[in-house]
Structure 1
Amino acid sequence: MASVLSYESLVHAVAGAVGSVTAMTVFFPLDTARLRLQVDEKRKSKTTHMVLLEIIKEEGLLAPYRGWFPVISSLCCSNFVYFYTFNSLKAVWVKGQRSTTGKDLVVGFVAGVVNVLLTTPLWVVNTRLKLQGAKFRNEDIVPTNYRGIVDAFHQIIRDEGVSALWNGTFPSLLLVFNPAIQFMFYEGLKRQLLKKRMQLSSLDVFIIGAIAKAIATTATYPLQTVQSILRFGRHRLNPENRTLGSLRNVLYLLHQRVKRFGILGLYKGLEAKLLQTVLTAALMFLVYEKLAAATFTVMGLKRAAPKP
């Protein structure tokens, strides 16, 4: 119990939250482009920079940062929960022993499940707010009119029921493999490098963070597309598939995507997603490692070093 409620876990959680907020703020326009490519299937522009130019031209210079606050709020809460759970579970399970790739994967998976169940409502709301006011090519999309985070929660619960706040939970639970894979590769690569040197440089952390996220994103991208569509929840879907987030609906959306655009349609927006998530994850891990190390130094505490 002491390991779960430890000061060290809190430091990791705060450092992870601050790192993710910093990184997402820097690369936020790339996430805006990715979301448009995923949700608005009839958009003709295929590249990240062309989509961003279209958005700025049609919706204004600040449009790429639309929905920044709810996204950052959700991301801060989400990463705090994930980093706290991950490091707490790892402290309880490993207890100073040698960590392994398998243990990192399992701990990452469990932390991801906890994170999804607690924070999905925040992500549903921020997806809606981020796409509000967007000029869509797809006429099947029903526009929204929310005045902010609280109003969005109120309208969704009133018009669609409380369960709508967990739209996309099923693919999100499948997608816990994304951060699990990411942390597995990140921790594994870090252990390998620490065998050869006493500590990692900023460049080392940036590179292994980028590699880990690139692998995880590519492996799980089709489900991320379905997750975005379900969270948005404003498409006029087949009446037989109104249970958003069910396995049947996930398979239906994947099939429709392949039917319209071919297999490559499952990876529409991957360029923007890779560019955004890889750079964001790399910067996040860099800020996280430096902030955590600085905090432990200032507080005069010895950080638990990973065993190679």
Structure 2
Amino acid sequence: MSYSVFSYENLVHAVSGAVGSVTAMTVFFPLDTARLRLQVDDNRKAKSTPAILADIIREEGLLAPYRGWFPVICSLCCSNFVYFYCFHSLKASWLKGRPSAPSNDLMIGIAAGVVNVLVTTPLWVVNTRLKLQGSKFRNADIRPTNYSGILDAFAQIIRDEGGGALWNGTFPSLLLVMNPAIQFMIYEGLKRQLRRGVPRELSSVEVFLIGAVAKAAATIVTYPLQTIQSILRFGQFNKSTGESKLLSSLRTIKCLLINRIYISRPLVFHIVSLVSFDRKFGMLGLFKGLEAKLLQTVLTAALMFLLYEKIASTTFKMMGLSRNHYKKH
């Protein structure tokens, strides 16, 4: 098989990953709606995922859990195509047929994640806005938006907030490349352990379980930054300063993290604080919505990896490349 960046094998991986992720996200989309609502709406009480979904349906209608499905699916399809293509092309170019190791998988995953973030962040900013548009928030400070679709959202954001707003949350997103990197490192490592040097196709149960374990570990480690990322993409937290973008991003992340942690302090602390709004969740505030996120992301990732492996395996068999594929992976 070719170790070139441009190869049919890399294209098969990219298409399989994109199709698998789109299908899995569609199945578990309401769980992502519950997670995002808890992350962004400060005044919404943290409840069990079914209770949150019941509240949303009661307040906003039966289809509310699927609000913003199309832009999310478009963003996810592009994002996973880019990530899977970069991951496997970099892996093929770097290893050139040699056995991989967890450290290699981690470094390749980080590199693929950086490319993915820089290319697809505008899509995720727009899909976050559209997914939350029309929602009934408990936080009165959240400003309503009125986008008619993906293109109109792009146009309004650029006109009202400037082109840079399309990359809101890029810095925490760059930090969050550790999430898929850790996920792929654990997934590929478990895959190698299960095969133990014998080229074979894993069973559906094996793929589902190792996909779930890999995603659960990656999500728990990086969840606080995912919450900050969602808030910044929504565009409701703006702290304008004369600092450089990097320093401003660091200060914004720090402020949002402190805001999530703080429970109660004397008034004088509020006056001298770097953050000017109430902070009330405690340490658990960093993990608000984690139950919904874990439920959604673990099930989605497990199903995505299962579909990805089956689609890729079937395609490679049709191309007569399955034996080489398993030897290299």
TM-score category (smaller protein): over 0.9
CA contact (8 A) 1:241 1:248 kept: no
* Aligned counterparts of 1:33 and 1:161: Cα–Cα separation in 2: 29
Pick from 201, 206, 212 the counterpart of residue 210 of structure 1.
212
CA contact (8 A) 1:20 1:284 kept: yes
Which amino acid letter does the alignment assign opposite residue 204 of structure 1?
E
Residue 90 (structure 1) aligned with residue 91 (structure 2): yes
CA contact (8 A) 1:99 1:306 kept: no
Any idea what SS the aligned residue of 2:142 has?
Answer: coil
Pick from 311, 315, 321 the counterpart of residue 291 of structure 1.
311
Alpha carbons of 1:40 and 1:241: their partners in 2 closer, same or farther (altered >3 Å)? farther
CA contact (8 A) 2:16 2:307 kept: yes
User: Could you say which residue in structure 2 is the equivalent of 1:127?
Assistant: 128
* Aligned counterparts of 2:240 and 2:141: Cα–Cα separation in 1: 13
User: Could you say which residue in structure 2 is the equivalent of 1:252?
Assistant: 255
CA contact (8 A) 2:316 2:325 kept: no
How many residue pairs were aligned?
307
Residue 157 (structure 1) aligned with residue 178 (structure 2): no
Which amino acid letter does the alignment assign opposite residue 295 of structure 1?
T
* Aligned counterparts of 2:12 and 2:4: Cα–Cα separation in 1: 13
Could you list the runs of 5+ residues in structure 1 that have no partner in the other structure?
none
* Aligned counterparts of 2:9 and 2:39: Cα–Cα separation in 1: 38
**Structure 1 position 44, deviation (Å):** 1.9
**Structure 1 position 241, deviation (Å):** 9.4
CA contact (8 A) 1:74 1:119 kept: yes
* Aligned counterparts of 2:181 and 2:258: Cα–Cα separation in 1: 26
Task: Report sequence identity in percent.
Answer: 71
The one-character-per-residue Cα deviations of 1:48-97 (angstroms, maximum 9, x if unpaired) are 11110011001110000000000000000000000000000000011111
User: Could you say which residue in structure 2 is the equivalent of 1:230?
Assistant: 232
The one-character-per-residue Cα deviations of 1:84-127 (angstroms, maximum 9, x if unpaired) are 00000000011111100000000000000000000000000000
**Structure 1 position 301, deviation (Å):** 2.6
CA RMSD of aligned residues (A): 1.7
Summarize the alignment of residues 55-70 of structure 1 with structure 2, pairs less than 5 Å apart.
55-70=56-71
**Structure 1 position 299, deviation (Å):** 2.2
Residue 304 (structure 1) aligned with residue 304 (structure 2): no
CA contact (8 A) 1:191 1:307 kept: no
Could you list the runs of 5+ residues in structure 2 that have no partner in the other structure?
263-279
CA contact (8 A) 1:143 1:234 kept: no
